[in-house]
Amino acid sequence: MIKVFKLPDLGEGLTESEIVAWHIAPGDTVTLNQHIADVETAKAVVELPSPFAGTVSTLHQPTGVVVQVGEAIVSFDVEGAEPAAAAPTAGTDVPAGVPAGVAAPAEPAQEREAVLVGYGASVERGGRPQRRARRGAAPAPAAAIVVPAAASVRASVPGSVPASVPAGVGAVGAERPRSTPPVRALARDLGIDLARLTGTGPDGLITRDDVRAGALTGPGADATVPAIGAAASVPGARESRTPIKSVRKHTAAAMVRSAFTAPHVTEFLTVDVTPTMELLDSLKRNRAFADQRINILTVVAKALCIAASRHPSVNTRWDDEAGEIVQYHYVNLGIAAATPRGLLVPNITDADALGLTGLSAALAALTDAARAGTTSPAALSGGTITITNIGVFGIDAGTPILNPGEAAILAMGAIRRTPWEYKGEIALRQVMTLSLSFDHRLVDGEQGSRFLADIGAILAEPGMVLTMV
């Protein structure tokens, strides 16, 4: 029986996703929950598992195409199938985008549509194992991939369809490069075709070093296939155009909504953080903290959590529909992260319950996931207040825009050795500027000022924490 898998709602209420890469081809035998594709939502790249065990019949969408939730993306031949050439009858579910004359056999009307495993899909398995198609086998006759004639097929992702293959047609039966999701994300960021690399890892696994070597030497790069989000340009052209999609599209909409919904106020505080930097130096020399990545961001995160407990208005949300102010009794601390895919704001759940070492570990995991492109959609929602570290770019201060639904965002500026009054004299001290933007509907000027002053007091004299907790 032919089972049509339609793009599901990946749990974030998003209406569309882009097919980044296929990891199956027509003729392949797949198992339940097998990773079959990478799809990019407005928030993250998600590994899509198979809801069926069977043989891949048809790929309905090529890579690089934005697909709406509910559109057919792949069909599976589950054992016990009716003849594939059966004519459609009343009630037959013909996949969206399939041209006239190319029909999929009917599914029982009472069955639920295939969705991600765990979301209610029924799975049928054959009693006899099926042989997997041999690698390098000839393409199946008839249309292996059905692409709507009106579909706008953009450049495919490196590692999916070679440039020599016509647009909309996948490489059938080709050997898929063995790699991990972080390595595939790195290859996409660098514009490297994994199919042209030789893996040096166990059993030919392609590693990060293999991808970086390919970027430096050139043989792994496919000059005809731009990376995701790259502008389609012509040498010598006076301008180029890049499609607005995925993270950039989502970020733009969110920032516009935030800027024109919440009345922003920004305050600045310049602080002598020399005592905090001396504390960090002493922790590095302490063997008990030798393996911890405790840095200025860790200390600022802890200071923010302490200050938020003293000034709870900064940790709230304005619920316009209900006409209520939602007060959070926990802190899900968002950390703005600049990635090759755009701005992401993953958050640390219950950050207020963590000490310095716990925050250090959580920040390290969050940063590594963001850089590797493996941040889960769940980690990108539910934040209550945010920190953005603009100091890493050498910027002293700014006016950050609130993450939608949050009452405050704190920007950390660069730490500079600056002439500063210290004990009645001028001395070179390590100085930082903090910038706090807040929603004036939720946070009064006094509340925002006291919150910022508390953070500054902790950084200027870490021992002040003892008077606040």
**Domains, the chain, with CATH or none:** 1-173 (2.40.50.100), 177-232 (4.10.320.10), 247-467 (3.30.559.10)
In this predicted structure, the answer to whether residue 274 has a pLDDT above a threshold of 80 is yes
Instruction: Look at residues 271, 235, 251 and name the one whose alpha carbon lies nearest to residue 337.
Output: 251
Residue range 331-350, pLDDT digits in tens: 999 999 887 777 889 999 99
> What are the catalytic residues?
440
Top pLDDT among 249 and 72 is at 72
- The per-residue pLDDT for 455 is 97
Rounded to an integer, the average pLDDT of 78-89 is 51
Q: Which of the four pLDDT bands, split at 50, 70 and 90, describes residue 355?
A: very high
* Greatest CA separation for the chain: 91
At residue 354, does pLDDT exceed 70? Answer: yes
Contacts of residues 396-401 at CB distance under 8 Å and 24 or more positions apart, as own/partner, are 396/433, 397/268, 397/433, 397/435, 398/435, 399/264, 399/266, 399/435, 399/437, 400/266, 400/336, 400/435, 400/437, 401/255, 401/258, 401/259, 401/264, 401/437
Question: What pLDDT shows up at residue 182?
Answer: 65
> Using CA of residue 105, residue 110, residue 113, residue 117, what is the dihedral sign?
negative
- Integer Cα distance of 101 and 390 in angstroms: 57
Whether the per-residue pLDDT at 162 is higher than 70: the answer is no
Query: How large is the average pLDDT for residues 440-453?
Result: 96
> 355, 306 in Cβ contact below 8 A?
no
Which is more confident, 338 or 354?
A: 354
Token pair 């709507």 is at which residue? 148
Distance (Å, rounded) from C-alpha 210 to C-alpha 207? 5
Sign of the Cα torsion 223, 226, 230, 231 reads: positive
Give the pLDDT band of residue 423 (cuts 50, 70, 90).
very high
Report residue 223's pLDDT band, with 50, 70 and 90 as the boundaries: very low
The pLDDT value given to residue 246: 64
The pLDDT value recorded for residue 115 is 41
pLDDT value for 418: 96
Number of H helices, E strands in the chain: 7, 19
pLDDT in tens, 296-314: 999 999 999 999 999 999 9
Highest-scoring range by mean pLDDT, 87-96, 154-163, 167-176, 459-468: 459-468
Alpha carbon distances (Å) from 279 to 73, 433, 461: 55, 19, 10
Residue type, 232: A
Does the pLDDT of residue 394 top 90, yes or no? Answer: yes
Calculate mean pLDDT across residues 190-212: 77
The yes-or-no verdict on residue 41 having pLDDT over 60 is yes
**What pLDDT, on a 0 to 100 scale, did the predictor assign at position 112?**
40
Q: Across all residues in the chain, what is the average pLDDT?
A: 76
Sign of the four-CA dihedral 20, 157, 345, 371: positive
